[in-house]
Amino acid sequence: MRMEITLLLSDALATTIANREPSVLDAPLTRYHASLRALHPGSADAQLRRYYLASLPEAHAAEQLRAELAHVSGVEAAYVKPEASAP
C-alpha cells in the first residue's frame, strides 16, 4: 500500500521544486522510490504552495523517509498520515 508524507517546505525550496530544478530532496526521494507532488497545485496563495506530498510504494519505509526529510534544510515539517482504521 502506498503511503504519503505531507511536507511543509520553505518558500525557497518550494520555489526550486515548482521550477523543476534539482533540490536537496532528490536524493532521499530517489532512495525510497518516492515521488513528490504539490498538495495545492497552481495555488496563488503563498502559504498553500509550500505544501507537498511525498508518495512512496512501501508503507514500512514511510517513517524512515519522514525522519530523513525532517532533517533536510528547507523542510519545515514532515508528517505521515496514519492509516485508516475501523472505529
Rounded distance, CA 61 to CA 4, Å? 11
Q: Residue 63's domain spans which residues?
A: 3-76
Asked whether the beta carbons of 23 and 17 are under 8 A apart, the reply is: yes
The residue among 59 and 38 whose pLDDT is bigger is 38
* CATH number for position 40: 3.30.1370
Section 56-82 average pLDDT: 93
Rounded distance, CA 73 to CA 76, Å? 8
The reported pTM is 0.90
Output the pLDDT for position 65. Answer: 96
Output the pLDDT for position 86. Answer: 66
Section 73-83 average pLDDT: 91
46 part of a folded domain = yes
What digits encode the pLDDT tens for the residues 31-55?
999 999 999 998 999 999 999 999 9
Output the pLDDT for position 85. Answer: 67
Number of helices and strands (H, E) in the chain? 3, 4
Percent of the chain whose pLDDT exceeds 70: 95
22 part of a folded domain = yes
